[in-house]
Structure 1
Amino acid sequence: MEPQTLNCNASSGADQCYDNRMRLAMFVIPSLLASCTLLLVMLILWKTCRRGRGTEGETLILLEDAAALPRQDWKGRDSLPTATSAERLLEFQDPLLAKWKLPEDWQVQAEQFLCMGRYGPISRATLVRRGSLGPSLPVILKKLPVASSPQETKRFIELMKFHIQICTHDSLVKALWCQSQTLPLCLVLEAMSLGNFLGFLWQTRQGSMPRKGHIHVLTEKKVFAMAIQIARGLDYLTASQRLIHGDVAARNVLIHQDLTVRLCGLGLAGEVYRRGALPSKEAAEVPIKWLPPERILKHPVTARSDVWAFGILLYEAVTLGAPPYPALQPSEVLPWLQRQHRMEKPDQCGDDLYRIMRSCWQWKASKRPTFSQLIDQLDSHVPRANEAETLAATERLDLSDYQRTAGVSPREVQLCLSEPCVMHKADSL
């Protein structure tokens, strides 16, 4: 049967012509609607895929108020029982922490208070084994005061477990032992001989610096080598553990006399691991000059947010600890960045290193490199990096001026003139 046509002439009836038009409309209109709907769906899917390209597989970390977060462990990991007192919590024999108990034949000696951490005092100390003629072991002690609440005790115990379970990479400061069955609770962390990286940078601003029988100088090539170590630690956190560090900065890096470096200041990573989100109160403690735009605007963050801060850390390293955005107040940073401005290349910074820094400061997070890509880029540029000229700066940094310019409070950073370290409040706990 051949299809009817719409040829309506004088010999055709009006009713037949009208019926033909109606049949065609009933076929054409749904077809057009279906086609338009399909095209719209395809367009939405294409835009969604394009928007997600470069961040595929990355975990979105939400900024939330602590009160709005669930009290139980978000990933189903072992959680501590509810208790009305810290003493009742200690009755719970955690098998993991029991394996990491500080052996009774080790004694703590020469304990020296450094600063107040988020939960209590942080000290430098030496561990000596009874009856042993072997070398002593320098450590960092983080303690929870005896008068702490059950909630603080629970969080401290959970963060000790985080350090033991997660902080196992060679580019992260590692836990050695802990004390979880008697008060005060204590976490024993390894110490690095040259202390805090920011303090090390400050004390090398005048050139060569003797330290305990060694002379340490920094070159651009050594900055590349240290940057690779830090990027590997961050790649482990973000790619392997699906976490963020949240406070990447020179003040959160420790350095050894062989110039190996390790990340510390893992408190925000511990919160993300424990809660599945970044509590706004703790996140707000990070100085604005180290934050990417999405963190300042309180948008969701991913590992690419740490990439931005990694670029700031590279600036700190090559300038020997200069504050970022030295001509701006913290409140001026976001408007300045919105006008597409970025920090200029420092005097002692090569083109390759500066290009990497600029790639970290892309406004759109998905356009920034991953830490895996950064490791490859840094490694490929090492052979061309300058190793002949020593990084130096004739200008001394005044602590109060630095705190004001960097937007860091006196409680967060205190330069220790007698020891090669910078101590800060927002430490790993």
Structure 2
Amino acid sequence: MRSQQPHCNSSSGDYLYDEIKMQNAMIIIPTFLAFSTLLVVSVIVWKTCRRRKDAESEPIILLEDGIPKQDRNEYDSLPTATATERILAFKDSLLAKWELPKDRHIQEEEFLCLGRYGQISRATLIQTSSLGPSLSVVLKKLPVATSPQEMKDFIEMMKFHIKICNHASLVKVLWCQSQALPLCLILEAMSLGNLLCFLWQTHQGDLSIKEHIYDLTEKRVFAMAIQIAHGLEYLTASQKLIHGDVAARNVLLHQDMTVRLCGLGLAGEVYRRGVLPSRKAAEVPVKWLSPERLLKRPVTAKSDVWSFGILLYEMITLGAPPYPALLPSEVFSRLQRQHLMQKPKQCGNNLYRIMRNCWQWKASKRSSFSQLINQLDSHMPHANGAEPLTATERLDLSDYQRIAGVSPGEAPLKLCL
């Protein structure tokens, strides 16, 4: 029996050791489970708050069916001439601050195209009381023979541009003419004009434009994209608006490679009405539209993000039409099957990843413009800045119109002829 005593002592020690291990386990396991639960709950709460914050920061624009009804106003019952006189006599406090000074005169008007309200022209602005340099401008003019309602709409459009277009990446307002006919909005002219036309010129190998040589590289595409994204972030986050027609045809380019967003007609409609008329929304070519817009669902900032990805494709391909192998009528069915455009030849992996992120079917999965700015900025140092972008295939305007689904009457296309 004595020889078995050590064995009994050993068993007692093992029992105490096992008991201590069990006690530790009873403390550690609940603690770990509690911590894990707390972590999971925290992540869920964070994601919910983030989703709610994103939803609050994104404007949700409803589509309005049919033609918007115009509110009756004091001019409806008046003869056109009398209504026109009263409209011109009314001095709006905002427009008065931007009225064209008496000593500045518009000369050398050159017709560019027809816009939503009438003629758009390039012109020269001179100051008669000074020998200073003349200024190149763009004019948006309303025809003299127009209705009082159209005059009121045009005045509201001018006020929209003055109030909203005060960002470095949006087309800049210089002056207006609201107290004399023709009503006119005077905008800053960008020396290289429309980005789509510039891309086409580069595509055709004409890098020498206005006695300057412009080598468009992937790095420059990043730099221009960052500027455009800043403008879109300002519209969507600060002004609670959408652009609605993000495309190379609605970007202007200066000789120092700074860019400005233009084509703000849909944003103006949202600003004035709080909704987007379906008839006007349908004028945007199909290949630039997000799935939710093709399905005629409410539009958000993430709808512009999708179009921004298409714009990146336009820039890196030097103005090639999106989905080059598809007709516009074929796009939606292919998107439903998760068909996305392949990576262009001269597009780096980082830029293509950003493009694909913009083309997530679910809008909530797409990056915001602030996130896109950070992504573009972080990847730009690694982009190719040495080799100019080139293209071997030739562009034909009629083929482009057919493949892109763009109307022959689109103003920028006329400028490219």
Q: If the length of structure 2 is used for normalisation, what is the TM-score?
A: 0.84
Judging changes above 3 Å, is the alpha-carbon distance between structure 1 residues 228 and 48 closer, same or farther for their aligned structure 2 residues? closer
The answer to whether 1:305 aligns with 2:303 is: yes
Structure 2 distance, partners of 1:302, 1:390, is 35
Q: CA deviation at 1:116?
A: 0.8
The amino acid across from 1:139 in the alignment is V
The answer to whether 1:55 aligns with 2:88 is: no
Would you say the 8 A contact 2:141–2:183 is kept in 1?
A: yes
Equivalences for residues 9-408 of structure 1 within 5 A: 54-65=54-65, 67-68=67-68, 71=71, 82-83=75-76, 84=78, 85-207=83-205, 209-408=207-406
Would you say the 8 A contact 1:201–1:321 is kept in 2?
A: yes
Structure 1 distance, partners of 2:296, 2:200, is 32
Give 3-state SS (helix, strand or coil) of 2:402's partner: helix
Would you say the 8 A contact 2:194–2:412 is kept in 1?
A: no
Q: CA deviation at 1:90?
A: 2.0
Q: CA deviation at 1:99?
A: 1.1
Give 3-state SS (helix, strand or coil) of 1:204's partner: helix
Would you say the 8 A contact 2:137–2:189 is kept in 1?
A: yes
Give 3-state SS (helix, strand or coil) of 1:55's partner: helix
Give 3-state SS (helix, strand or coil) of 2:193's partner: coil
Structure 2 distance, partners of 1:299, 1:95, is 38
- Superposed CA offset, 1:163-204 (max 9, x none): 001100000001100000111100000000000000000000
Instruction: Give RMSD over aligned pairs.
Output: 2.2
Would you say the 8 A contact 1:54–1:367 is kept in 2?
A: no
Would you say the 8 A contact 2:115–2:411 is kept in 1?
A: no
Structure 2 distance, partners of 1:210, 1:268, is 34
Q: CA deviation at 1:301?
A: 0.9
The amino acid across from 2:330 in the alignment is E
The amino acid across from 1:108 in the alignment is I
Give 3-state SS (helix, strand or coil) of 2:225's partner: helix
Percent identity, aligned pairs only, is: 72
Structure 1 distance, partners of 2:342, 2:101, is 52
Structure 1 distance, partners of 2:411, 2:91, is 37
- Superposed CA offset, 1:115-139 (max 9, x none): 1111110000010111422211000
Unpaired runs of 5+ in structure 1?
1-44, 73-79, 424-429
Q: Is the deviation greater in 143-152 or in 257-266?
A: 143-152
* Count of aligned pairs between the two proteins: 368
The amino acid across from 1:133 in the alignment is L
Structure 2 distance, partners of 1:414, 1:310, is 18
- Greater fraction of residues in helix: 2
Structure 2 distance, partners of 1:401, 1:338, is 26
The amino acid across from 1:395 in the alignment is E
The amino acid across from 1:209 in the alignment is L
